[in-house]
A and B are shown apart, each in its own frame.
Chain A
Amino acid sequence: MELSIDRLTKHYGRKIAVDRVSATLTPGVYGLLGANGAGKTTLMRMLCAILEPTSGEVRLDGKEIAAMGEDYRDVLGYLPQDFGYYPTYTAAEFLSYIAALKGIPRDRADRRVKELLGMLDLSAVADKKIKTFSGGMKQRVGIAQALLNDPQVLILDEPTSGLDPKERVRLRNLLSEYAGDKIVILSTHIVSDVEAIADVVLVMNAGRFIMQGTVSELAEQVRGKVWELTVPREQARFWQEDFTVANYRHEGEQVVLRIISDEKPSDEAVPCEPILDDAYLYQFGAKEA
């Protein structure tokens, strides 16, 4: 299975939201990273065939997704960024309704709904109205509906928003387990979410992919540019003004700064192992990111 994106572009008037983006996605987990307004949601909506591109196309196994219509939607699962639900519906009712829209036969849908409610730790509240749920619970209902039809292409826009750390870990594990022979694309601006599960990371800025590769490949790009420097607490502010500081950790009266810099910032600075966060910050700088 191959999802190919060919020079996909979206203009809103004069504003270019997505600018000639191309990529070929095969089974695996893809993390779409970028700041707010980078074009992630617009790209995802075009990948879901909700939004008509200004130019370019998306093909699944050689077939244009808009032309595939129902056939494409049959293998698609999508969690929108602003997940809408019917407040008076219970979680089970809502999932059953979406299952019907996905064309899942009633008996299979019942089993799948039950299974997903269990997987997402919602069994106990299956018969409670969604309007009474916390943000994290609602988000889990959203994730469950996306998984209902066991989609070949799963697109999740900010799936971890509203989830507490435990729920985030559970979701990561769920997606890692789910991916297998499927294409999973998840967007986020939380680097650690992507770092934990993405096979390939696509970094977006101003509507374009500016970096793509595995987590280690991207981290490798900043090898030799990540430093740790221990300084007195009162000096920390000056270092932050002059350098991109990825982390700031207190150790007694001292602070340990993780600095991203092409040059060794100080004789006392020691090089350290780069991670995805560093690569991301290297591209955008601490403020922009």
Chain B
Amino acid sequence: MELFALEHKRLWRTTRVWLCVLLCFIYSVIYGGVFSFQWFVFGSEGEDTTSPYENNFDGYSVIRDWQEQFSQFGDTWTDETFQKIVAEYQSYDPMDRPGLQSMGDWSMAASFLNHLYPELEDSASQTYQPLIHYVDTEKLTDFYGKRQWYLDFNLEVARQGGLLTEADIDMLQEMNSQIEEPWKYEWTQGWNHLLTIALPNISARIAPFLAIALGFIFSGEWHDSTAPLLHTTKHGRRRLAYVKVLSGLAFAVEMFVLIAGGTVAAQLIYFGTSGWDMPIQFIKEIAVAPWNMLKAELFELTFTFLGVIGYAGMTMLFSSLVKNNVLALVLSLSITYVPNLLGRYLPLWAQEASQYLPLVGSPTDIFRTNVFHVLGKGIWSPYMLITVPFVIGVVCLPFAIKGWARRERA
């Protein structure tokens, strides 16, 4: 325990490490969290509407205004609610409408219209106008029936494309059948931003900093010429390797708590917890998971947490196998950057396989109907994407310990 405390303290005392934590915090929590809520996502539009960075620094009050405005539509999603929201939008001056869509729930309503009511489009019109601008609200009926039709249609397209089997569709439909109707409703855009941008982005933001902090955990000892000395101490091999791995994992957890905790704190400050029990189908209508926003948030946090552990495991393995800091860092960074940068050039199977790597796949798969097939059994993609990266990382750990504890051959 004493050794763990010393090693953990030593890790945090490294200038590179705390600098990484500080930068990651600024980038993720201040820029990606606080500034996005207060300024460039929810801030009201400034004079120059072409850039979100020209927005005003007033997100906190804007969010409250939207929450209050959309509370007038009641707390249950019915055809009537849908009609009222569209009608409210249509009551605004056409010149003001583009700005309204970004933060009000009209973007959600517009998406519902485009996907669920395509037959109401005015195909005769010579100029394009979004459906929400002119649709006859009286015709917006049978919302849940339309949604089921749209889901069936998409699943059938996926089946015909060879992406889903009949069994997969049965499984997804079974999940879908558990979604309670009518849906609870409140202003959704805060949750939308949180679940599709703010939380999923933590993975991408935390990865490089974690690589820099942990990539040197073993290789740094060779770089600093301390490895030969440590290797000749009583506990300098296996026990030190265990302790380094444990302190690396502890650091990864602490970094996650700091970044994810900061993001959640920003969420709580800016739009609180209201609407936590709304279904995630408000974010994507054909999502089949019978989950509410809170469950989705917990899933995404767990997803990132397990990804961080997996990533830390892989990074520490690379660090123990190579004695060169730069190589260890490049290998660690390549876990996420190679699939992200070169993904499009890889064959489909490789693209899919790369999603299993820690912090590569996205937790937003909970809004999709992707199914992975393992030994002939279909598994809903989020279940695979949350477990495999973690397992990969855990499997790396004994090899990282072995890599450090072995005697040199050359």
Contacts and interface: CB of A to CB of B under 8 A. Distances in A.
Interface stretch (B10-18, B57-65, B71-79): B10-18
A45 B228 CA distance: 8
A80 B230 contact: no
Contacts of B2: 100, 106
A66 B230 CA distance: 16
Given A12-B410, A66-B407, A102-B235, A80 B225 contact: yes
B96 interface: no
Contacts of A69: 237
A50 B407 CA distance: 5
Contacts of A18: none
B125 interface: no
A52 B228 contact: no
B321 interface: no
A100 B232 contact: no
Interface residues of A, number: 34
A9 interface: no
A139 to B, nearest CB: 13
A265 to B, nearest CB: 46
Nearest to B4: A100
B205 interface: no
Among B13, B225, B226, B228, which residue has the most Cβ atoms of chain A within 10 A? B228
Interface in A56-76: 66, 69-70, 73-74, 76
Contacts, number: 82
B234 A101 contact: yes
A76 B229 CA distance: 11
Nearest to B407: A52
Interface in A116-164: 145, 149
Given A51-B407, A66-B407, A86-B226, A97 B234 contact: no
A106 B240 CA distance: 17
Given A12-B410, A50-B408, A100-B6, A82 B232 contact: no
Contact of A84 (B225, B232, B235, B240): B225
Given A80-B225, A103-B234, 16 more contacts: A49-B232, A50-B231, A52-B407, A69-B237, A70-B234, A70-B235, A73-B232, A74-B234, A78-B228, A84-B228, A97-B6, A98-B229, A101-B234, A101-B240, A106-B2, A145-B229
Interface of A: 12, 45, 48-52, 66, 69-70, 73-74, 76-80, 82-86, 88-89, 96-98, 100-103, 106, 145, 149
Interface of B: 2-3, 6, 10, 13-15, 221, 224-237, 240, 407-410
30 contacts: A12-B410, A45-B408, A48-B231, A49-B407, A50-B228, A50-B408, A70-B234, A73-B236, A73-B237, A74-B234, A78-B229, A80-B228, A80-B229, A82-B225, A83-B229, A84-B224, A84-B225, A85-B224, A88-B15, A96-B6, A98-B233, A100-B2, A100-B235, A101-B3, A101-B234, A102-B234, A103-B233, A103-B235, A145-B229, A149-B234
